[in-house]
Amino acid sequence: MNTLQVELGDRRYPIYIGCGLLDQTELYIKHIKAKQVMVVTNEKVAALYLGTVLEQLKAYEVAQVILPDGEQHKSLDVLTQIFDTLLANKFGRSATVIALGGGVIGDMGGFAAACYQRGIPFIQIPTTLLAQVDSSVGGKTGVNHPLGKNMIGAFYQPQCVIADTDVLDSLDDRQLSAGLAEVIKYGLIRDAEFFGWLEDNMDALLARDKQALAFAIERSCINKAEVVAEDETESGVRATLNLGHTFGHAIETGLGYGEYLHGEAVAIGTCQAADLSRRKGWLNDSDVERIIVLFKRAKLPVYPPNALSPEQFIKFMSVDKKNVDGDIRLILLKAIGLATLPVGVDEKLLHTTLASYRS
């Protein structure tokens, strides 16, 4: 097991990465403060891992909420189910929420913990590659609104993150690829060496080589933890983690949550951002080619859905957390391994990318 620290002063916490962590009882005990524990998970994950987790929690008074699976259920309405269960069980401020699942469960379990009685402790047990390398680390929690993704939420840090690499065995190929989109992102925004490693090891990752996956997860988490420690609430460098996400969120919101996986939408969006960076004169053709090829090799889509017109893209991109007074701002690339801070973009140039970069 490797332990990384997210350095956030009195909110500092460890990320445990390794195999067989799900049944290491002492990891749970170390981070649970009182006797009430509430596990939030979804139908799919519950069938696979809830039993193992409950097994470790025999010393506690445990309640559980099993939510429907999928991004379309990451809503205020479904969130209410968590509050209902916490209250029905008379859970207090010292109760701990355990979010057992992918990004949707982590975001919702974390946001419920952030709001319940104005904040109770929570633990992240991410069960997808995407959640292990990205969404479980850094304290971004929340739900979607019909008009915009992740528009309602909180920065709220967990007590710890338990990333058991064994659970990736049960992940389907599409979910594995979706996670790789965020892995590639770290290479693109701040770690050119890692991008090169990914070019060399993409086949091993897709073949689920344990050692390669463990390395990719750890390197991703190191990158994420460094960025978050520097800028917890996204007043600066943390925004670079959003490379491709403004385009991607427009795809997710525009087509209806759940149609594309988050990682798939991010892959497309990153290729669009790369295209726009080339038009800005920052990337050259061969950089863009390398980026597109790597996403393709990761079995990810690289062109936007035809169902979404450039005009619709712009409509959905105009509600984004990086925007200022309604003006669209994007993370772009100066080079492979070097992202910009949010930059305003000329709408004509943006439209050119949206209209030209299509399959």
Amino acid in the structure at residue 129: L
- Comparing CB distances to a copy of itself, the nearer of 58 and 324 is 324
Smallest gap from Cβ 168 to a copy of itself, in A, equals 29
Is there binding between residue 233 and a copy of itself (CB under 8 A)?
yes
CB 191 within 8 A of CB 107: no
Binding track over 301-340 against a copy of itself, x by CB under 8 A? -----------------xxxxxxxxx--------------
Q: Tell me the C-alpha distance between 174 and 230, whole Å.
A: 32
Nearer to a copy of itself, 164 or 320 (CB): 320
State the minimum distance, in angstroms, from the CB of residue 94 to a copy of itself: 6
Residue-wise over 109-124: b if at least 16 C-beta within 10 A, else e?
Answer: bbbbbbbbeeebbbbb
- With binding defined as CB under 8 A, does residue 236 bind a copy of itself? no
The dihedral through the CA atoms of 103, 172, 166, 26 has a sign that is positive
Q: 10 Å Cβ neighbour count for 306?
A: 8
By annotation, the residues acting in catalysis are: 118, 140, 182, 224, 234, 238, 242, 245, 249, 262
Stretch that binds a copy of itself, among 139-147, 158-166, 169-177, 200-208 (CB under 8 A): 139-147
Where in 149-208 is the site for a copy of itself (CB under 8 A)? 150-155
| Angle, helices 285-297/262-279, rounded to nearest 10 degrees | 170
215 contributes a contact to a copy of itself by CB under 8 A: no
Single out the segment in contact with a copy of itself by CB under 8 A; choices: 34-42, 183-191, 218-226, 349-357: 34-42
Looking at beta carbons only, is 180 or 330 nearer to a copy of itself? 330
Residue 140, H or E segment: strand 140-145
Q: How far apart are CA 230 and CA 359, in angstroms?
A: 38
